[in-house]
């Protein structure tokens, strides 16, 4: 299911950002979106692989990775709620 989530998020980012760019800037904007998206998917896997290779403990790495994901999710929720409440004011 991560592929579906990535695809939906990627399409949302493109639909949000590309219309704001001037026609001559859209290629550069799409390039930045591609780089950020692939780093967001690839970098955590590389870091997790490094941590498993260094510590040898897959379960510890999975717990740490899960904790980081939960913290980032909570921060995203807080940011969304703050933005929503400021738009209502």
Measured CA to CA, the distance from residue 70 to residue 64 in angstroms comes to 10
In whole angstroms, give the CA distance from residue 80 to residue 34: 23
φ, ψ at 21 (rounded to 5°): -90, 145
Pair (66, 26) in one structural domain:
no
What's the pLDDT score for residue 59? 93
Task: Let me know whether 42 and 83 are in one domain.
Answer: no
Which pLDDT belongs to residue 89?
67
Percent residues over pLDDT 90 in the chain: 21
Range of the domain at 39: 1-56
Reported as a single tens digit per residue, the pLDDT across 11-28 is 888 888 888 889 899 899
- pLDDT at residue 14 in the model: 87
User: Coil, strand or helix: which one is 22?
Assistant: coil
Tell me: do 42 and 81 sit in the same domain: no
* pTM score: 0.60
């Amino acid at each position: 299911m991560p592929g579906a989530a990535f695809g939906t998020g990627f399409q949302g980012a493109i639909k949000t950002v590309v219309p704001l760019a001037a026609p001559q800037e859209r290629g550069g904007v799409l390039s930045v979106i591609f780089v950020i998206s692939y780093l967001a998917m690839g970098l955590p896997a590389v870091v997790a692989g490094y941590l498993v290779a260094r510590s040898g403990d897959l379960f510890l790495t999975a717990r740490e990775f899960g904790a980081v994901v939960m913290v980032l999710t909570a921060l995203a929720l807080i940011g969304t709620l703050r933005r929503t409440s400021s738009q209502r004011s």
